[in-house]
Amino acid sequence: MSSTFRLLKIVRVLFAERIDEFLPQPKRGPLRALSWIIPKVRMRRSRGERLRDALQALGPVFVKFGQMLSTRRDLLPPDIAAALAELQDRVKPFPGAVAREIVEKDLEASVEDIFSEFASEPMASASVAQVHAAQLKTGEEVIVKVIRPGIAKVIEEDLKLMMTLAKFVEKNFVDGKRLKLVQVVSDYRVTILDELDLMREAANTALIRRNFENSPICYVPQIYWDYTRRNTMVEERIYGVPISQIHVFKEKQVNMEKLAERGVEIFFTQVFDHSFFHADMHPGNVFVDINDPENPIYKAIDFGIVGTLDPESQAYLAQNLIAFFDRDYRAVAELHVESGWVPKTTNVGEFESAIRTVCEPIFQKPLGEISFGVLLIRLFEVARRFQMEVQPQLVLLQKTLLNIEGLGRELYPELDLWKTGKPFLERWVKERLGPKGILEYTKRNGSRWVVQFPKLTNSLLEAPERMSRLESLQLHQTEALVDLAKEAKRQRRGRHVASLIGIVGLGIAGFALSGQSAWMTQHWPLFVGILSLVLLIRR
C-alpha cells in the first residue's frame, strides 16, 4: 500500500510540473489524454527547471538521481542537463539525538566515552548521510559522518519505483528506448547502494590518501578506523576555502593558473598513475589551502564514488586521446576495435569516417577552447552507433572529466587542457609502453612468474600426454558418431520398409474391397517384384 501511495505521489508531482512536455509523446491515447487533462502550472519556468524542482520535491533519493543524470550529457538535451547540474544536497537534517544513537549503537560505546565534544547540529546534511563536528578524547578535531536512519529501505523502494517508471517510459513512449532509462537506473542502483556502506568510503579514502602521501599539491584526510563502521565514519577534519568561492581566491591573489593546472594534474595522476580516481569531484567536495597563495593545495573529501581503469583501458584511452590530439582518426578507430569497445566486425573505414565527421568541426576552434569532456562525449556517441557496449568505467571517467574541466575553466578561463594533458599522456605512454615500462612490469611480476614457473613446466611436460588422451577421446567420439549414424540409417531403412509394406497392404486391401481380389491373385508377383526393387534402391 505504501508503495502504491508513493507511486501516486511521484506521478502527481511529475504531471503537476508538466514533465510530459519534454518526454517523447505517448504512443497510446489514454496517456496523451492524461497529459492534456492536467492543467498547466508554473509554466514560466523552463522544462529543465521544472524537472529539477520535481526531483527536489520527491526527496533525497531522487535528488541524488538527478545529480547523476546531469552527468549523462550524451543522453540529455543541454538545457535539461544544465538545470539538473544545479541540484544540491541541501536536505533537511535528522535530529542530532538520532545521530548520537546511531553512533553509539555502531561503536558500542557512549559518545562521551569517545569524544570530548560532539556537535548536535550537523555541519552539512546530504541525501544519504549527514556530518557532525567533533573532537576525540585524544584531542584530534574530526568529523563524524552518519548514514540517515531508515534510508536503505527508502532507497530500495524508490529504486523499484524508478525502474518501473523507466520501463514504462521505454515501452509506452515514442523513442523511449533512446533515453536508456533502464540502464541509467541500473547504474544508479549500484552507485547509491555502495554509498550506504561507510566502510567502503573509508577504504577508498585511505587508498587515495596513501597514493597522495607527501604530495605538494593534494591532501586527503586521515580515517580513524577504530571509530569507523558501516553506518558511522570518523575522519580528520580539514580546513580550507571551498573551491566555488572564486572571489576569495582573487582577493587573496591566489595563482589561479596554477590552481587550475594542478586540478588537471591531480585528475590525470589519479586516472593514469594510480588507476583509482575520485569520481564525485563536484565543488562541495573540494577545498583549497591558500596559506601560500602561490602554491595552493587541494583538499578533497567524500570518496563514496570512485572509478578504476584496468591497464588495458588505461593504455587504449591514453593512445586514443593522443591520436585525437594528432587528428589521427584511423588510429582512433583501430584502437576501439583492438580494445573490444566495438565489435571486431566493425568496418574500420566507415568508423574512421564517422569519427572525422563529428570531430573535425571541434578542431576548427583554438586548442584552448576545445572541451576535452565534450570530445569524449562525441566519441562515445559515434561509437554507440557502431554498437559500442557501455563501459561503466568510461562513463564515470567522462563525468569526472566534465567536472574537472568545468571547474578548471571557471577558475581560469584561459585554461588549455590539451597543454596540460598531452605532455602527461605522452610521458605516460612512453614510460608504461616503452622499454622502461616493460622492465618495470617484469620487476613487479617477476616473483609471481617464478612461483608459477614450475606449474608451467609441468603443464608443458604433460602436454603430449594430454594431447594423446584428447586424440583418443576424439577417436572414441568419432567411432561413436559413426555407429550412431549407422543406427540412424538402419532406423530410417526400417521406417521406409514399414511405410512401403503399409502402402502395399493398403493397396491390396483397397483392391480387395473394390471386388478386384481375383485380379490381385493373378498379379501379386508383380507387386512383390516392384516392392523388392524399391527396397533395393533404398539401401
For residue 28, the model assigns a pLDDT of 44
How far apart (Å, rounded) are the C-alpha atoms in residues 529 and 539? 16
Whether pLDDT at 486 is above 80: no
Q: Which of 20, 280, 302, 416 is catalytic?
A: 280
- Who has greater pLDDT, 506 or 226? 226
**SS3 per-residue string spanning 285-311:** HEEEECCCCCCCEEEECCCCCEEECCH
Q: In 3D, which of 290, 208, 226 has the Cα closest to residue 255?
A: 290
Average pLDDT over residues 531-538: 51
Q: In 3D, which of 130, 99, 115, 126 has the Cα closest to residue 224?
A: 115
Residue found by looking up cell 559500442 in the block: 388
**Percent above pLDDT 70 for the chain:** 67
Q: Is 280 a catalytic residue?
A: yes
Residue type, 508: I
Q: Are strands 297-300 and 218-219 parallel, antiparallel or unpaired?
A: parallel
Among the residue ranges 62-66, 177-181, 397-401, 506-510, the one predicted with the least confidence is 506-510
| pLDDT tier, 241 (very low <50, low <70, confident <90, very high otherwise) | very high
Among the residue ranges 173-177, 180-184, 374-378, the one predicted with the least confidence is 173-177
Whether pLDDT at 400 is above 70: yes
Whether pLDDT at 41 is above 70: no
Cβ neighbourhood burial of 364 (10 Å; 0-12, 13-18, 19+): exposed
For residue 513, the model assigns a pLDDT of 46
- Who has greater pLDDT, 43 or 253? 253
Residue type, 66: G
Q: Rounded to 5 degrees, what angle do the CA atoms 351, 405, 246 make?
A: 165
- Who has greater pLDDT, 69 or 94? 94
- Who has greater pLDDT, 490 or 42? 490
Whether pLDDT at 123 is above 50: yes
**Percent above pLDDT 90 for the chain:** 24
* H-type alpha helices, 108-231: 111-114, 151-172, 181-195, 198-211
Residue type, 140: E
> Over the stretch 274-309, which tens digit does the pLDDT of each residue have?
989 898 877 778 999 999 999 999 999 999 888 888
Q: What is the grid cell recorded at 126?
A: 546530504
Q: In 3D, which of 391, 316, 390, 330 has the Cα closest to residue 359?
A: 330
Whether pLDDT at 210 is above 80: yes
For residue 83, the model assigns a pLDDT of 80
> Over the stretch 449-485, which tens digit does the pLDDT of each residue have?
555 656 656 666 666 766 676 666 666 666 666 666 6
Q: How far apart are the first and last CA of the chain?
A: 73
Average pLDDT over residues 394-400: 72
Cα-based distances in Å from 473 to 232, 478, 480: 60, 9, 10
